[in-house]
């Protein structure tokens, strides 16, 4: 009887373990699908903006950027108390291209007589080491830390706006088809380490840090953003 009870207990434990593995596999699979979709959305935003001619990000600024962060389809909604929230990806320049994408959150709020809602794409160019250090913090409040400026727009705009080149981060937004540099303040960027850990087993600071993760080491479908940026 004792042997039978022992074997029954082992079977139950194994069944529970297998169920746990199955649930973890499903969660990881879902996170990976969401990650691939987010990278695809970010690539679409970059393609559309860079093909906008005189309304695009100056290519010489993109050439100098140490990292690029894209938040596609961020929701801005307000009814007396307003808020901004969304998720996006960040890639760092590496030898021969761009790193694997790290996943990030953007959130903020405001108060006042306001009502309405819209979706906005945000693009941030990280221009120097100070900007990179800010991005890799556990929480980076735009406008509260570091040097942030609205980015210039147009093929030759950067040449006439040298003052902005001292900024650690240049910020842009696109809403209802209009693309422009924006003074993006009052929002905070934090790493989405739940997704980073599920997809890579690494945190954002390990993916984008001093020894960045190469795109070739990322799961299939996550190298599209680097390929897109390389075109420009």
The predicted pLDDT at position 15 comes to: 44
pLDDT of residue 79: 43
Give the pair of three-digit tokens for residue 188.
């905070």
- Give the residue ranges of the chain where pLDDT is below 50: 6, 8-24, 27, 77-82, 110-116, 159-160, 163
The answer as to whether 100 is a domain residue is: yes
Q: Which pLDDT does position 1 carry in this prediction?
A: 56
Which residue from 142, 147, 141 is spatially nearest to 127, judged by alpha carbons? 147
The answer as to whether 162 is a domain residue is yes
* pLDDT for the residue 189: 92
**Residue 76 pLDDT:** 57
DSSP annotation of 71 reads E
pTM of the model: 0.80
Q: Does residue 202 form part of some domain?
A: yes
Distance between CA atoms of 9 and 220, rounded to whole angstroms? 40
Q: Is 29 among the domain residues?
A: no
- Would you say residue 221 lies in a domain? yes
Residue 18 lies in a domain: no
* pLDDT for 75: 61
Separation between Cα atoms, residue 126 and residue 91, nearest integer Å: 10
Residue with tokens 């935003």: 45
Q: Specify if 204 maps to a domain.
A: yes
Domain carrying residue 85: 39-230
> Looking at the 3D structure of the chain, how many domains does it have?
1
Within the chain, strands assigned E span: 67-94, 97-98, 102-126, 140-141, 148-150, 169-175, 178-181, 187-191
Q: Residue 23 domain-assigned?
A: no
């Amino acid at each position: 009887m004792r042997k039978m009870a022992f074997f029954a207990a082992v079977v139950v434990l194994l069944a529970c373990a297998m169920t746990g593995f199955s649930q973890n596999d499903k969660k990881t699979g879902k996170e990976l699908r969401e990650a691939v979709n987010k990278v695809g959305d970010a690539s679409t935003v970059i393609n559309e903006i860079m093909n906008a001619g005189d309304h695009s990000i100056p290519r010489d600024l993109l050439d100098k950027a140490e990292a690029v962060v894209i938040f596609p389809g961020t929701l801005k909604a307000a009814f007396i108390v307003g808020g901004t929230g969304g998720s996006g990806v960040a890639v760092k320049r590496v030898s021969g291209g761009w790193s694997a994408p790290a996943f990030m959150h953007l959130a903020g709020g405001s108060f006042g007589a306001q009502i309405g809602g819209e979706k906005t794409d945000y693009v941030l160019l990280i221009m120097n080491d100070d900007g990179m250090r800010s991005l890799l913090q556990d929480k980076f409040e735009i406008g509260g830390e570091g040097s942030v400026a609205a980015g210039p727009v147009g093929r030759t705009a950067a040449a006439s706006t040298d003052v902005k080149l001292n900024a650690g981060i240049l910020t842009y937004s696109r809403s209802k088809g209009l693309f422009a540099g924006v003074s993006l303040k009052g929002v905070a960027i934090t790493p989405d380490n739940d997704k980073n850990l599920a997809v890579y087993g690494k945190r954002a600071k390990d993916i984008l840090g001093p020894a960045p993760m190469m795109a070739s080491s990322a799961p299939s479908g996550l190298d599209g953003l680097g390929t897109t940026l390389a075109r420009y």
